Amino acid sequence: MKTFSAKAEDVKRAWWVIDAKDQMLGHVAVKAASLLRGKHKAIYTNHVDTGDFVVVINASQIKVSGKKDVQKTYMSFSGFVGGHKHETFRARRERRPDLLVERAVKGMIMHNALGATVYRKLKVYAGAEHPHEAQNPKAANL
């Protein structure tokens, strides 16, 4: 018996829409990462990109539990002296709500070249509108 290994050219990619309105950030990120990776498919192969495209809408209306709204902080460093920037969850939601979902999903996929390829298939929008209607995306249930 031979082991099946999917080939990149044999993968048929679908488009999925996840509505993040009133959903928990972690639940949305887990579902998006799983669809991006292709773990829901029978042809899943861990070293091949077998995943689908994922569109997340209403990122500005996502929820978190507990006091994360005011206590969770995001840090970035420019590389220069004094280049540390800190931002709370609430401040980031007001400034760029799409970054919340993008960062959560990025932490759940591989941190290598394959992960970078998988990550490019994620599209996140703050509102309910998105420009991917031509791809006929299906709704993903959480």
Average pLDDT of the segment spanning 84-109: 96
Q: What is the total count of domains within the chain? A: 1
pLDDT at 20: 96
- 100 pLDDT band, cuts 50/70/90, is very high
- Name the band, by pLDDT with cuts 50, 70 and 90, for residue 142: confident
Within-domain flag for 31: yes
pLDDT tens readout for residues 111-141: 999 999 999 999 999 999 999 999 999 999 9
pTM of the prediction?
Answer: 0.92
Show the domain range for 124: 12-139
Distance CA 135, CA 111 (A): 28
* Residue 6 located in a structural domain: no
Does any domain span residue 80? yes
In a domain, 3, yes or no: no
Q: Could you tell me if residue 4 is inside a domain?
A: no
Cα–Cα nearest to 38, from 114, 98, 99: 114
For 57-94, write each residue's pLDDT tens digit.
Answer: 999 999 999 999 999 999 999 999 999 999 999 999 99
**Full strand arrangement of the beta sheet holding 122-124:** 122-124, 53-57, 15-19, 138-139
CATH code of the domain containing 37: 3.90.1180.10
